Amino acid sequence: MPAKTLTTLQKLKDKGEKIAMLTCYDATLAHACEEAGIDVLLIGDSLGMVLQGHDSTLPVTVSDIAYHTACVKRGAPGALIVADLPFMAYATLEQTFTSAAQLMRAGAHLVKIEGAAWLAESIRQLAERGAPVCAHLGLTPQAVNVLGGYKVQGRGDEQARQLLEDCVAVAEAGAAMLVLECVPSELAARITQAVSVPVIGIGAGPDTDGQVLVIHDMLGLSLSGRTAKFVRNFMQGEGNIQAALRAYVKAVKNREFPAPEHGFSA
């Protein structure tokens, strides 16, 4: 199987074919994901909650992400790997460069940062230095204390206009791909059309270029016992994890997931 690259994703967007992405944190599941046809693996700071048992992503460090990135790289050497820059790891340009270098050396092909148009200069300078960026907009979990909780973003005309402008700004600054989290489906569709780079949704409706879920969520595993609206348990009706992963890829590629009930209205 040929290695996945940013060119692979861009070709999928240009052809109107969906992109399947999952979080992953270890070599064994990374290998299973690659075998199942997952296009992109994300080492998310969600590991702070699903692996470490914290109540938010904020305690996660760059070293945590680097360790798990190296694990995933060894398990899936042909995968396209995105690694999160965690909370306050990109507060200044110098810190951003240092953090990104650590993750790229660990095996990441892109680094993911949360924010809005204020990230434009960091994105531009990272890209110039050979570190492609995935920009994460909408609900940004690292800013949960500012947002006042895990809430849908982009509702109402003013919020929608601002989010659209922010997405265009980071794309124009050189972001290689976007992740939209918990954004009204209609707005996410508009954003996907407005930018030329691939847009991956989580709780952003069916019309983004692809989908991402936390692997533990799509396997029906949860510490809290609660399931987010945008999650589907792909273990139901499947005999093992490998079958569930293949079912996820098929559902994304065939536009069966997400269904209307997994999205949000304006």
Confirm or deny that 217 is annotated as ligand binding.
no
Confirm or deny that 157 is annotated as ligand binding.
no
Longest Cα–Cα distance of the chain, Å, equals: 49
Q: What is the mean pLDDT of the chain?
A: 96
Can you give the pLDDT at residue 1? 72
Can you give the pLDDT at residue 144? 80
Can you give the pLDDT at residue 218? 97
DSSP run (H or E) holding 134: strand 133-138
Can you give the pLDDT at residue 225? 77
Can you give the pLDDT at residue 238? 96
Can you give the pLDDT at residue 222? 87
Can you give the pLDDT at residue 2? 82
Task: Dig out the tokens for 105 from the structure.
Answer: 């050396």
Confirm or deny that 209 is annotated as ligand binding.
no
Can you give the pLDDT at residue 128? 97
Can you give the pLDDT at residue 66? 98
Q: What is the pLDDT of residues 187-229, one digit of tens each?
A: 999 999 999 999 999 999 999 999 999 999 999 998 877 889 9
Q: Counting Cβ atoms within 10 Å, is residue 238 exposed (0-12), middle (13-18) or buried (19+)?
A: middle
H helices within 107-232, ranges in order?
120-128, 144-147, 157-173, 185-194, 215-218
What positions carry a catalytic annotation?
181
What lies within 8 Å, CB to CB, of 232 at 6+ separation is 213, 218, 251, 257, 258, 259, 262
Can you give the pLDDT at residue 172? 98
Can you give the pLDDT at residue 226? 82
In the chain, which stretches have pLDDT less than 70?
Answer: none
Peptide bond before 59: cis, by omega within 30 degrees of 0?
A: no
Confirm or deny that 46 is annotated as ligand binding.
yes
